[in-house]
């Protein structure tokens, strides 16, 4: 996830609750979402998206509107019964300092909790913003492999400098899942940071 959210996206929102609405995206949101994301993609900040991709994955997305104007977007992508990724997080450039990024993350976290996920992860250039939202930096190698269809078309595939962050939503649920996969009980010394499973190579089988 190459995010267009800046660290100052945590600031208080200047929009009243009656003007700002954060909700799940619908098909009619595709055009403004594409305009926002691909505007950043043209600057090399985010991966470009197509109408087909958004149509196929529209249920992942949540949007923020001020009146009839899209001011932010973010997606929750599921990877396993207990893990999801925050991705495609973007705020309209003129609204970056108004706390919209925070509101979108809060909505995605609530959605993840409703689906009883154990953890959320993200790849970002602004770990400070995610730290304020309860995420913690981890080594990228500790995370499961991302969807290769995204990574392979990223211009920074061979020199990725994004920072991996994780937020544990349910320590009990996540630890139980991890222990079942590893085949033995593990007591994590750190209640927040845990090593996430990685896919073994063919040589390691």
One digit per residue, the tens of pLDDT, for the chain of length 205 reads 445 565 555 455 555 445 899 999 999 999 999 999 999 999 888 888 999 999 999 999 999 999 999 999 999 999 888 889 999 999 999 876 678 999 999 999 999 999 999 999 988 888 899 999 999 998 776 666 554 445 555 555 555 667 889 999 988 766 765 555 554 333 333 333 334 434 344 444 4
- Report yes or no: 100 and 85 within 8 Å, Cβ to Cβ: no
> pTM score, two decimals?
0.75
SS3 call for 109:
helix
Tell me the domains of the chain and their CATH numbers.
7-198 (3.40.630.30)
* CA-closest candidate to residue 140, choices 118, 117, 157: 157
Assigned token pair, 119? 């953890």
CA–CA gap between residue 74 and residue 60 (Å, rounded): 8
């Amino acid at each position: 996830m190459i995010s267009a959210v800046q660290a100052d996206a945590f600031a208080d929102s200047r929009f009243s609750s009656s003007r700002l609405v954060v909700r799940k995206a619908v098909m009619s949101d595709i055009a403004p979402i594409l305009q926002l994301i691909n505007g950043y993609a043209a600057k090399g900040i985010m991966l470009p998206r197509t109408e087909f991709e958004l149509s196929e994955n529209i249920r992942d997305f949540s949007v923020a509107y001020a009146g009839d104007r899209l001011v932010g977007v973010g997606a929750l992508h599921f990877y396993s019964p207990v893990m999801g990724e925050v991705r495609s997080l973007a705020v309209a450039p003129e609204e970056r300092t108004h706390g919209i990024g925070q509101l979108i993350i809060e909505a995605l976290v609530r959605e993840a909790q409703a689906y009883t996920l154990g953890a959320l992860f993200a790849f970002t250039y602004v770990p400070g913003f995610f730290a304020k939202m309860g995420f913690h930096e981890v080594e990228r190698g500790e995370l499961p492999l991302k969807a290769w269809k995204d990574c392979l078309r990223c211009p920074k595939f061979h020199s990725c400098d994004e920072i991996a962050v994780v937020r544990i939503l349910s320590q009990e649920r996540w630890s139980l899942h991890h222990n079942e996969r590893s085949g033995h009980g593990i007591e994590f010394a750190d209640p927040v940071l845990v090593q996430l499973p990685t896919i073994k190579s063919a040589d390691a089988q």
